[in-house]
Structure 1
Amino acid sequence: MPINHRLAWVSAVFLLFFLLFAIGGLLPGPLRNAIESWLGLPFSVPPVAHFVLFVAMAFCLPWAWPRLQMIGTLTIMLVLGAVVELLQEWIPGRTPSLNDFLLDSLGAGLGFLGYLLLIKKQQKAAVSFNKEN
């Protein structure tokens, strides 16, 4: 896949995950509870969503915008998590949560680590391919 197409896809995936996180994080409490009840899952959605979405976003962000590097990626991810948590102060039925922010941070770190491991694997494959040819 050409690099421009890959960047467009990864950017779109990041945006999708960000929208899911922002919408879920800013839903009023009663609506969020009704949706969670309707889903009928055997676990609480918010903690899992915080962690999984931040893993995915932190994996996609440096892949889409490589110039960010580690500090830029983690800063953006932590700011996103903090802003959504702080905005919950003014949303009916919601309160900011340090635990959610910690899950965001852990997910962002793990997602970026996954990105680094993938890049390292790709670089090793490229080096071994070049040695063979």
Structure 2
Amino acid sequence: MPASRIESLRLPLRRVASTLQSPMTTYAALAAAFSLLLIPLPELPEAMSPLVNGAHIPLFALIGLLVRSRFPATSGWGADLATLVIGAAIGAGGELLQYWVPGRYPSIGDELLDLVGLPLGIAAWRLLILPWRTDS
């Protein structure tokens, strides 16, 4: 592949990494993601339950990626562990607040799904964002 073609493929990932380094972008996206946990839901058919519950995994993969992006690229596994702790606290807080949201209820199962999504977000950060960070 010609060098210009390879460079054109790298540019979007470099832009994404640069955008994630902006605190305002990250905090706004985290607030938007967290607010999805607090949207009142109508009574849904039982067949929709796996779909709604399964949405916790990609949502918390995004949260894991966003939280991990706030740590320096060189901070290593300690930042990954901190990301898991912060993400678990966000998930637990969201589940607790659902007690007061119509159509929502707190669930340990949902928190476990959150804990599945967080490492996926950390892995995505390591594979897709870390190589393009400007502070590494």
- If the length of structure 1 is used for normalisation, what is the TM-score? 0.64
Question: CA RMSD of the aligned region, Å?
Answer: 3.3
One of 58, 61, 83 as aligned partner of 2:67: 61
- Greater RCO (Cα-Cα under 8 Å, separation 6 or more): 2
> 2:112 — aligned with what?
102
**What is the aligned partner in structure 2 of residue 33 from structure 1?**
42
SS at match of 1:26: coil
Displacement of 1:14 = 5.5
Q: Partner of 2:91 in structure 1?
A: 81
Paired residues of 1:58 and 1:77 also in contact (CA < 8 A):
yes
What corresponds to 2:4 in structure 1? none
CA distance in 1, matches of 2:61, 2:18: 23
Does structure 1 conserve the Cα–Cα contact (< 8 Å) formed by 2:87 and 2:118?
yes
Give the structure with the higher percent helix: 1
CA contact (8 A) 2:20 2:66 kept: no
| 8 Å contact kept, 1:14–1:57 | no
> How many residue pairs are counted as aligned between the two chains?
112
2: CA distance between counterparts of 1:6 and 1:23?
19
Per the TM alignment, residue 80 of structure 1 is displaced from its structure 2 partner at its CA by 0.1
* Structure 1: gaps spanning 5 or more residues: 124-133
Decide whether the 8 Å contact of 2:33 with 2:63 is kept in 1: no
Query: Alpha-carbon deviation of 1:64?
Result: 2.9
1:106 deviates by 0.3
TM-score by length of 2: 0.63
What is the percentage of aligned positions where both structures have the same residue? 29
1:2-31 per-position Cα deviation (integer Å, ceiling 9, x unaligned): 9875511x7515632x33333222123xxx
Contact 2:19 2:25 in 1 (8 A): no
Are the counterparts in 2 of residues 11 and 60 from structure 1 also a CA contact under 8 Å?
A: no
